[in-house]
Structure 1
Amino acid sequence: MYLLVLVHILQSTLLAVQSCPALCACTYGLVQCSDPGISAVPINVPADTVKLRLEKTLISRVPRAAFYNLSELRFLWLTYNSITSIHPSSFVNLKALRELRLDGNLLTSFPWEGLRDMPRLQTLGLHNNHLSSLPAHAALFLPNITYLDLSSNRLTILPAELLDLWFPLPGQQERPEQRRVLGLHDNPWLCDCQISMVMSLSTSLASPVVLMDQLLVCRRSLGQSGLPMTQAELSRCMRPSVQPAATKVISPLGSNVILRCDATGYPTPTLTWIKTAAYTDFATLYVPVMQESPRVGVRWSIISLNGLSYKDAGEYRCQARNMAGTSEAPIKLKVVGISRLSPLPKKKSKKPRPKSSTKHMKPNKIPAPTNTPPLKDNQILQNIPPPSINKTQTAPNLLPKVFPKDKYIKRRKMNFTNAKAPTSIRSTPEPPGNSTTAPLSEKLV
């Protein structure tokens, strides 16, 4: 009994998967629904559908996850309906989708971020809608699109980010350059250097972009009638020029620093801050604290660094870009540490040199002569400087080295008087005996 119920459920599921929606035709992976009575996206489309066409119906909106069970879908045509809104998550699980066409609807905007759910998408058709602008972030989701039809809308300008994507400067493309087909005709373009750059680059032989229709119409202002691009006088683009407030900044550890740069160019350039570490090649993208454009063709930007550390040191590059080119200016930041200054040692007061008088000289401060030949006994007394004392002192065992050993000297005293008076050495007479010594009296030099 249990097996019979299980088989019945499986058969019902298979029949539901293989069933074809009402007012639609299903043949070999193709489902086509073009009845005017259809007002909503069918929910029972077979799971093995490869191509789904919903055309000329009354469908006005595409809900969230409208095609979630169609993981094998490769072609989705929603053309010439009355669609005014598309949910950003309408295309979830369409990982195999190659082509999406929304021509002939009433779209005033398109959820560009929804393209992330279709990584293999190559063809996007938005012909004959009411699109009046293209956001700059659309360029983030269009790298894989090789066919983009934006013709017959209400577009007036192209963001610089799209032009950088379609016409990359040499050395900026991350992958091999691929050809793209663009439909830009039948839009009220403003006569500026951007649309003129598109025209001039697309007509070159090595251009990566091919226009479906070379005849573009532009207007000098939104209120004027259109002129063919070949007859309009278009302003020329000017490559950006960057001027930093300072090229080298030295700041102490823990301080706050503001870096600023100004750029001029036409169209008005966009500014980006890139930092390279002092000892590595690792680059960091900095978000500016403030960035403004006071007038057309001029933009300035600042970044703030609070509480500097050594890792903040390095080179900061202010990069300006527009469709005419890229320029940048480096700012080198050096972070220095704060060290406490030790007090300078006090200078010792120099004592005045003593005069030639022997009054101020001490006998203990006698410098020992170096590298001189040994003195004879009779020369020692001549090389001893006079003492600087006023009292009579006993000579410290100097005289016994002067006299010959065969003479007996019992005791002698050295009497030192005033430095100006001559200094003499007196010897006591020897006790009476067989030998006598002559009294010695010398003048010290």
Structure 2
Amino acid sequence: MHLLVLVQILQSALWGVQSCPAVCSCSYGTSGNSELRSVRCSDPGISAVPVNVPADTVKLRLEKTLISKIPRAAFYNLSDLRFLWLNYNSITSIHPSSFVNLKALRELRLDGNLLSSFPWEGLRDMPRLQTLGLHNNRLSSLPAHASLFLPNITFLDLSSNRLTVLPGELLDLWFPPPGQQGGPLQRKILGLHDNPWLCDCQISMVMSLSMSLRSPVVLMDQMLVCGRSVDQSGTLLSQSELSRCMRPSIQPAATRVISPLGSNVILRCEATGYPTPTLTWIKASAYTDCCRNNMIESLDQLPRNLESFMQESPRVGVRWSIIILNGLSYKDAGEYRCQARNMAGLSEAPIKLKVVGVTRLSRLPKKKYLKTPLKLSTRYKKLNQTASTTSSASVKENQILQSITPPWTNKSQTAANLVSKELFRDERRKMN
């Protein structure tokens, strides 16, 4: 009995996998030795994503229905799905986790809906996705973080929306600078036409770079129209007088700095360009003196980006940045590069920092400065000692001279005493 129930359950499950939804039509195609199932659901009465789509479906088309929302994990059971077309429905919102478990999906089309935003972070659940169609929706902006989830997209159609500007992060993704392109050149096809673009430097750069021979980006339609610009509304981008981009130029405060060990140093650079450039600092090389090589073995991973720096933009087109190094050691010595980048290009300026020991900086000047004073002080000291010795000797001599009565002084005093005694005697005689 139990075995019979189990067989019935398996038969019903197998029938559910193989059966086609009543409101949909199924067809098969061949690829090699396997059959590929395609399911198309285009009944105008459909208002939600069908839940009984066969699990072996490779291509699913939900078109011209009343579906307005794509819920969470709407296609979770379709792990083999490669193509998902949701064109010309009434979709206004998509849950960020709608595409969970679609590891094999290659193409996602959402053309002709009512989307005012798109969950770009949901692209993480589709690592093999290459084609994304968002033509004819209501997208008015592209967030900067969208660039994090678009590196594998080779076909992106954003035409016929309400976009006005492109974030710089997307432009960095589509037009990487020379030397930063990983592997062979992979071209990307972009649909940017039929949007009310603000005709500024960025969209101008997209146009000019896409026309170059080795451009990684190919535009579906190069007839872009200025929708928002001063006195240029409705004019073709190629005919408008756009703001010209200016490649950054850098002026460092000093190109060579020598500072003693343990001191504090500020490295500063200023960049001008349009759009206003961003500045980054890179430690390019270490101290190359033969005597300090054993102290910089841990710096073999140069160059590396430095994160602790400050920058400010006092006005449009100008930006300055400083990096502060406190308590210099020999490991701080080397070449620092201040890099400025904007839409027009990349510029950099090297600053070489040399750290010298305290002895090398201070002893030599002290010897030159103290050489003469030391001799002079010694000389004056000897003279003072001589003078003091002479004066003390003279004092002693005076004391000795005063204590000793010369012979002629004693004789004269003795004679005078004798004379006075005789005179005294004569006076006494006369009085008597």
TM-score where L is the length of structure 1: 0.68
From the superposition, tell whether residues 41 and 326 of structure 1 become closer, same or farther in structure 2 (CA, over 3 Å): same
Amino acid at match of 1:4: L
Amino acid at match of 1:210: V
Secondary structure of 2:203's match? helix
Alignment of 1:167-246 (within 5 A): 167-219=175-227, 221=229, 225-246=233-254
Which of residues 126, 129, 137 in structure 1 aligns to 2:145?
137
Q: Deviations over 1:153-175 (max 9, x none)?
A: 11222233333333334333112
Which of residues 327, 331, 356 in structure 1 aligns to 2:347?
327
Aligned to 1:24: 24
Which of residues 160, 165, 169 in structure 2 aligns to 1:157?
165
**Residues paired across the two proteins, number:** 352
From the superposition, tell whether residues 124 and 3 of structure 1 become closer, same or farther in structure 2 (CA, over 3 Å): same
From the superposition, tell whether residues 192 and 52 of structure 1 become closer, same or farther in structure 2 (CA, over 3 Å): same
Superposed displacement of residue 312, structure 1: 5.0
Alignment of 1:93-108 (within 5 A): 93-108=101-116
Which of residues 116, 125, 128 in structure 2 aligns to 1:120?
128
From the superposition, tell whether residues 49 and 250 of structure 1 become closer, same or farther in structure 2 (CA, over 3 Å): farther
Aligned to 2:8: 8
Alpha-carbon distance in structure 2 between the residues aligned to 1:81 and 1:222 = 37
From the superposition, tell whether residues 171 and 15 of structure 1 become closer, same or farther in structure 2 (CA, over 3 Å): same
Alpha-carbon distance in structure 1 between the residues aligned to 2:250 and 2:207 = 27
Aligned to 1:52: 60
Which sections of structure 1, spanning at least 5 residues, go unmatched?
Answer: 353-445
Aligned to 2:318: 298
Superposed displacement of residue 150, structure 1: 1.0
Superposed displacement of residue 321, structure 1: 1.5
Alpha-carbon distance in structure 2 between the residues aligned to 1:308 and 1:42 = 67
Secondary structure of 1:152's match? coil
Q: Does the 8 Å contact 1:249/1:331 carry over to 2?
A: yes
Secondary structure of 2:181's match? coil
Alpha-carbon distance in structure 1 between the residues aligned to 2:321 and 2:334 = 19
Aligned to 2:91: 83
Larger helix percent: 2
Alpha-carbon distance in structure 1 between the residues aligned to 2:265 and 2:335 = 14
Alignment of 1:251-330 (within 5 A): 259-276=267-284, 278=286, 279-287=299-307, 290-303=310-323, 312-330=332-350
From the superposition, tell whether residues 117 and 243 of structure 1 become closer, same or farther in structure 2 (CA, over 3 Å): farther
Q: Does the 8 Å contact 2:164/2:228 carry over to 1?
A: no
Amino acid at match of 2:305: L
Aligned to 1:439: none
Superposed displacement of residue 43, structure 1: 2.8
Q: Deviations over 1:16-61 (max 9, x none)?
A: 3334345222333112222233232233322111111112222223
Alpha-carbon distance in structure 2 between the residues aligned to 1:168 and 1:280 = 27
Aligned to 2:42: 34
TM-score where L is the length of structure 2: 0.70
Secondary structure of 2:305's match? strand
Superposed displacement of residue 126, structure 1: 1.0
Q: Deviations over 1:372-397 (max 9, x none)?
A: xxxxxxxxxxxxxxxxxxxxxxxxxx
Amino acid at match of 1:137: H
Amino acid at match of 1:172: Q
Amino acid at match of 2:251: Q
How large is the RMSD of aligned CA atoms in angstroms? 3.5
Match status 1:61 vs 2:69: yes
Secondary structure of 2:280's match? strand
Superposed displacement of residue 80, structure 1: 1.6
Alpha-carbon distance in structure 2 between the residues aligned to 1:232 and 1:129 = 27
Amino acid at match of 1:112: W
Superposed displacement of residue 238, structure 1: 0.8
Higher relative contact order (CA 8 A, sep 6+): 2
Q: Does the 8 Å contact 2:255/2:352 carry over to 1?
A: yes
Secondary structure of 1:227's match? coil
From the superposition, tell whether residues 129 and 311 of structure 1 become closer, same or farther in structure 2 (CA, over 3 Å): farther
Superposed displacement of residue 262, structure 1: 2.6
Aligned to 1:428: none
Q: Deviations over 1:356-376 (max 9, x none)?
A: xxxxxxxxxxxxxxxxxxxxx
- Bigger Rg over Cα: 1
- The more displaced of 43-52 and 219-228 is 219-228
Aligned to 1:404: none
Which sections of structure 2, spanning at least 5 residues, go unmatched?
Answer: 29-36, 287-298, 368-373, 383-432
Alpha-carbon distance in structure 2 between the residues aligned to 1:84 and 1:302 = 47
Superposed displacement of residue 252, structure 1: 6.9
Alpha-carbon distance in structure 1 between the residues aligned to 2:48 and 2:266 = 56
